[in-house]
Copies of this chain bind each other. A is one copy, B any other.
Amino acid sequence: MSDPTQQTLDALNGTAVHLRHVRKARDATDRVGPRHFLHAGPPLELAAVPGPMRGAIIAGLLLEREAGSAAEAEAIIDRGEVSISPCHDAGAVGAMAGIITPNTPVVVAGTAGGVTTFSPLNEGIGGAMRYGSYDDVTLARLRWLGDVLAPALDEAVRRSDPLDLPALVAEGLRRGDDCHNRLVATTAALLVALTPGLLRTRLDREDLAKVVAFIAGNGHFALPFAISAAKAVTLAASGVPGSPVVTAMASNGREFGIRVSGLGDRWFTVAAPVGDPVLVEGATLDDVTPTMGDSMIAETAGFGAFAMTAAPAIMSFVGGDAARAHEITRRMRTVCAGTSERFLIPGEDFRGTPLGIDVHKVRATGVEPVINNGLAHREPGRGRAGAGITPIPVEPFAAASRALEEAGHAGRAAAVEGAHA
């Protein structure tokens, strides 16, 4: 039997993932109900959800027609008549609030081994459910995405060759995207791949034009395609006894948590960091919800901030320059177990991205893993307040390293003298 770390890396590197469906969540999972929603990050109490997540739950109750008004939805929440559980426990990942309800349109990815994952369609910039918006425009767009765009894409998927999602991410990295915070070229590649199939659907010409225009106008449209693939490969890499490789990072806006391959579904958490974001005009640090969302599954799977050298164009958006991008990727190599075999960086002569955070290495080096993320405004529906490269404190990684040690799985890195934390 091979080394647990290598076994985990092999799964991260070798798991094929294809786009399966674009459909409502109720058709993708039995883990949601009209009064049971999924949310981003580790578990938290309904009463403790941050502003944007509460707003998204209100949007969800309106979308499900469980409430006729925001006030009714608030009352349902306050009476505790809706329940929530983590996306990750349902094989899902959601950006920002990550609220998934039965009628939420989602991208469904699948592996040959039978792992299925899903992630909500990206609604575009401006007011959006993932930022806690629940106004009429947001609701109307969600219904259109679920009733028009999703069935059209689903039919296009059926009428197209299977779309290899890690290959889409790999192509995105060749086109200057990190595929977490910059996906404009990946979105174009995705649209180009799906358009012939879209033309073969029964969709009428006007709706077709609207669908294409929506995707073309939303530079983050490819995000759920990328992160559902990332969730699929990290799920495939989970459950390797003794493996110190991180298989999930996620935050609910209060707590940031990680899961580790050799430690099952246990979360190791720390207060969600804010980092040092580039704020949108007019915003202050007080306006920012601490890191929230499941999209850092990107970094967990070897892209996003870990591929920063592939995406120098994003640096001005998140703060920094090309030299900082190189420094970030270089530092992440010091805490990763290996190198990606399919996410290659042209500007580093096609060297693979750093792949598979090793909790022992984080503990031993004290190097904080980073994510390339957006930050939601504290008030529901106000959208993005900033974006940045956010360092994650060492604590949860060190705690996981100790837990593996206690279980008799000491890492080589952890044996280093003077290990931190």
Contact = CB atoms under 8 A, between A and B. Distances in A.
A313 interface: yes
Nearest to A309: B347
A188 B192 contact: yes
A361 interface: no
Interface in A183-210: 184-185, 188-189, 191-193, 195-196, 199-200, 205, 208-209
A312 B350 CA distance: 9
A185 B184 CA distance: 10
22 contacts: A174-B185, A175-B175, A175-B177, A176-B185, A176-B346, A185-B185, A185-B189, A188-B191, A188-B192, A191-B192, A191-B195, A192-B216, A195-B195, A195-B216, A196-B209, A199-B208, A199-B209, A312-B347, A312-B349, A315-B346, A322-B347, A322-B348
A200 B213 CA distance: 12
A346 B308 CA distance: 12
Counting chain A residues whose Cβ lies within 8 A of the other chain, the interface size class is 20 to 34
Contacts of A312: 346-347, 349
A359 to B, nearest CB: 32
Nearest to A350: B316
A321 interface: yes
A188 B185 CA distance: 8
A46 interface: no
A200 B192 contact: no
Interface string A369-408: 0000000000000000000000000000000000000000
A11 interface: no
Contacts of A195: 191, 195, 212, 216
A307 to B, nearest CB: 13
A216 B199 contact: no
Given A188-B189, A199-B212, A322-B349, 19 more contacts: A174-B185, A175-B184, A175-B185, A176-B185, A185-B185, A185-B189, A188-B188, A191-B192, A191-B195, A192-B216, A195-B195, A196-B213, A199-B209, A200-B209, A311-B346, A322-B346, A322-B347, A322-B348, A347-B347
